[in-house]
Amino acid sequence: MTSHFNLRRCRQLYEKELKPALLGRQPMLQLDDRNEFYARLLAEQSLLQPGKHLVDLGAGLSIFGPLCRAHGMNVTLVDDFGGGGGVELRPASGDVPLLDVFEKRLGLAIVRENFLERPLPLPDASVDVVTSFHSLEHWHHSPKPLFREIVRVLKPGGFLILATPNAVNLRKRIYVLLGRSNFPTLHEWYHDGDPVFRGHVREPVIRDLHQLLKWNGLEVVATHGRNFIGRQSQVLSGLPAPLVNGIAISSGWFLRLFPALCSDIHVVGRKPL
């Protein structure tokens, strides 16, 4: 079952309800085409509507949760908010002021915890959709207990939507042939990972995401490739911005026909009724 996605309404909700609440806050969250696409994924499964309960794992500071809340969804963000995902903590401080806006002004529920180590504080069969966007690749330990929790809290017929970088996108395939690594940079691991590395531990491929769903009894209902990360490629950074934008748009439309070559991979799973 699918429903029409109203892009115009998304943008109106951002301008009228979210942007005024976020002005003057850092980081200033913009509605971009990536988050519009995430909203479209929900709409395609008739989820972007009042009363539906969404849980976003590894949410960070994203406009996605507030956008879903503006559509009338009940939204729970689960993250340790320890850095990354737009979260830059002050020294010796766990304060994230933007979360106060999310919770007190926009009405989102915030759960601060490491969801890989603790059960989700939610009742059985209480959630319509669980999302995890660009979080899985940061998980240091096996997510087997977490996936059991996801299946537990999902309603029969509920959805799990995963988005990650693609370990074998077109650029990385070429890089490996040229002797480059498709892992995070050595500098990021060696320098930025001291004392705690919060970068990419294991980037999956589409088949990996399908297997994770199947291992947990979820049906794969959709697979999409997009090139959101590819638009920020450092390989193109020395070219004029209009040219980079043109290359990104034209290649993006072509590559989405071949999800396994895209920089971003998305898989939608459904729990059996």
- The pTM score is 0.91
Segment 212-234 mean pLDDT = 88
Run of H or E including 10: helix 7-13
Q: What is the pLDDT of residue 171?
A: 86
Segment 124-149 mean pLDDT = 96
Work out the end-to-end distance of the chain between its first and last CA atoms, rounded to an integer number of angstroms: 14
Q: What is the pLDDT of residue 91?
A: 46
Q: What is the pLDDT of residue 252?
A: 72
CB 68, CB 42: distance < 8 Å: yes
Q: What percent of the chain has pLDDT over 90?
A: 71
Among 147, 131, 134, 162, CA closest to 55: 131
- Pairwise CA distance, residues 191 & 38, whole Å: 33
CB 116, CB 135: distance < 8 Å: no
Segment 46-64 mean pLDDT = 97
Segment 183-193 mean pLDDT = 88
- Binned at pLDDT 50, 70 and 90, residue 92 comes out as very low
Among 209, 211, 133, 225, CA closest to 170: 225
Please spell the DSSP secondary structure of 221-268, one letter per residue: EEEEEE-TTGGG-GGGTTS-HHHHHHHHHHHHHHHTTSGGGSSEEEEE
- E strands of the chain, at which residues? 53-57, 74-79, 109-112, 127-133, 154-165, 219-226, 264-270
Q: What is the pLDDT of residue 26?
A: 82
- pLDDT tops 70 at residue 236: no
153 class by beta-carbon count within 10 Å (0-12 exposed, 13-18 middle, 19+ buried): buried
β-strands 74-79, 53-57: how paired? parallel
Q: What is the pLDDT of residue 224?
A: 97
Amino acid code (one letter) for 152: R
Most confident of 23-27, 60-64, 178-182, 225-229: 60-64
Q: What is the pLDDT of residue 89?
A: 53
Q: What is the pLDDT of residue 1?
A: 47
Q: What is the pLDDT of residue 248?
A: 67
233 class by beta-carbon count within 10 Å (0-12 exposed, 13-18 middle, 19+ buried): middle
- pLDDT tops 80 at residue 53: yes
Q: What is the phi-psi region of residue 83: left when phi exceeds 0, alpha when psi lies from -120 to 50, beta otherwise?
A: left
Segment 151-170 mean pLDDT = 97
Higher pLDDT, 233 or 184: 184
Run of H or E including 208: helix 206-215
- pLDDT tops 90 at residue 239: no
Q: What is the pLDDT of residue 100?
A: 93
Segment 4-13 mean pLDDT = 96
